[in-house]
Amino acid sequence: MTSLNPSRARCRCILTRSCVRSRASTGGTSPRILDVGCGTGGNLEMLSEFGAVEGVDVSHDAVEFCRARGVAPVRQAAAEELPYNDESFDLVTGFDVIEHLDDDVAGLREMRRVLRPGGRVMLIVPAFMWLWGVQDDVSHHRRRYRLPELRQAVERAGFRIERASYANITFFVPTLLGRVFMRLTGLRPASESNINVAVLNGVLGRILGAESWWLQRMSFPFGVSIVCVARRD
């Protein structure tokens, strides 16, 4: 998982926190949560608010960084070969993960394997191949998704989709204009990680908070990302 600029990281955190809170178990036992592709552990602390969280990542350096931080137990493994027993977790998260996989359905099936019946997977993936940019190359993405394509992959893996929508609508127009500008001018920054969105953090937080509220109640017709929650029956 690659690093994000502060605005994009804040966006994902707000949307993720809202969705996880609405889907996490409300029963008496603390749910077990697995963050696949946890990277340097940016989401582990947030996820620990909702249950007993563990992480897994293919990168040795990322895993060692997580272990040094001591936020949660972390193992090194590929998403297609998770080192956990069948039916071990109540919630599996894959934030910006399956777009890296040669076989995304295989990765999703492995996530399903480690979920208990009734458990859920939550995914965030980048949207629209025509929004492909420098950061996709730097991050070694294999694809960006349209909503029907993600739905098909998730259902082929054996899940029943509960919620799927485009998201990060706030960044859609700036991202689109940036892609058009780069294609017209031929200018390509070395990375997009340091491209700042010209919105004050406080205002941005309120905008994204409103988006996460609406995302629980309606589907967006476009966005920079797709959020999907699916259930293992």
CA distance 143 to 26: 35
**pLDDT of 189:** 61
pLDDT(74) > 70: yes
pLDDT(131) > 70: yes
What number of residues does the chain have? 233
Range of lowest pLDDT (83-87, 102-106, 199-203): 199-203
Range of lowest pLDDT (11-15, 51-55, 63-67, 220-224): 11-15
**pLDDT of 116:** 96
pLDDT(142) > 70: yes
* Structural domain boundaries enclosing 36: 6-231
**pLDDT of 161:** 96
- Of 130, 59, 104, 129, nearest to 228 by C-alpha is 104
| Region 196-214 average pLDDT | 50
Domain membership of residue 10 (yes or no) is yes
Domain membership of residue 1 (yes or no) is no
Tell me which of 186 and 99 has the higher pLDDT.
Answer: 99
CA distance 47 to 36: 12
| Region 95-118 average pLDDT | 97
Q: Are 164 and 147 in contact (CB under 8 A)?
A: yes
CA distance 97 to 36: 7
| Region 180-188 average pLDDT | 70
Q: Binning pLDDT at 50, 70 and 90, where does residue 199 land?
A: very low
Alpha helices in the chain (DSSP H): 6-23, 44-47, 60-69, 104-114, 134-138, 147-156, 172-185, 201-215
pTM of the model: 0.80
CA distance 131 to 17: 25
- Of 192, 215, 184, 171, nearest to 23 by C-alpha is 215
**pLDDT of 111:** 98
pLDDT(198) > 50: no
- Number of structural domains the chain divides into: 1
Pairing assessment for the beta strands 225-231 and 160-167 based on DSSP bridges: antiparallel
**pLDDT of 95:** 92
Q: List the CATH number of the domain containing 172.
A: 3.40.50.150
Tell me which of 1 and 23 has the higher pLDDT.
Answer: 23
| Region 71-89 average pLDDT | 97
Enclosing H/E stretch for 163: strand 160-167
